[in-house]
A and B are shown apart, each in its own frame.
Chain A
């Protein structure tokens, strides 16, 4: 099975900051990588698929990059509504494994 890791596990940032989250797959997954945002008590929200394709309606301050085993999610000009936990998810095999999450909180 593919294992997904994320770093950091948490970070503190201020409104307006640029934030970068890294996701790594235990084997190459081409660009079969999604990113989700999760807030407490809310359903997960798809941000990005195909590693770098922004889901409709998601602000352009979110961007993704990477292929193979290493991926990044970048949030530029962090907004108050962006404080949440972010998960990567591989869709290379039929396990759809999520990473452990990165919590972004307010500094």
Chain B
């Protein structure tokens, strides 16, 4: 089955750290860029991070730049979001999402995990 499964969420104190994992199955993982998107309670979707297929390049939203680190292990078919210096504003459901690129035309997130809850309190 083609799917993404997040893990590693939970309750953490302000200033603490958490590492989210996203395990892929059913597709050729190393052919796809990956992203994390979050949704805070009662709020909209917020893209937070992106990683290339090789893992050599990452991008972050301003809201998490310098605190979050995205990496991937293509052998394990997984991406990892290391979240440090967490604040209450990071409380959200976090989704990993596969990115599909049509060169010169589009980039879209066509496969999503079920989401994992992170609560900072």
Give the interface of A toward B (CB within 8 A).
Answer: 1, 31-32, 34, 36, 38, 43-46, 49-50, 53, 55, 85, 87, 89, 91, 94-101
Contact = CB atoms under 8 A, between A and B. Distances in A.
A50 B109 contact: no
Given A43-B114, A43-B115, A44-B95, A98 B44 contact: yes
12 contacts: A34-B106, A38-B39, A43-B113, A44-B97, A46-B110, A50-B102, A50-B106, A91-B106, A91-B107, A91-B108, A98-B37, A98-B45
A61 B50 CA distance: 31
Contacts of B50: 94, 96
Classify the secondary structure of A's interface with B. Answer: loop
Q: Bin the interface of chain B by size.
A: 20 to 34
A48 B39 CA distance: 20
B32 interface: no
Contacts of B95: 43-44
B45 A101 contact: yes
B112 A89 contact: no
Contacts, number: 66
Nearest to A98: B45
Contacts of A89: 45, 47, 108-109
A38 B45 contact: yes
Given A43-B114, A43-B115, A44-B95, A49 B108 contact: yes
A96 B35 contact: yes
Nearest to A35: B108
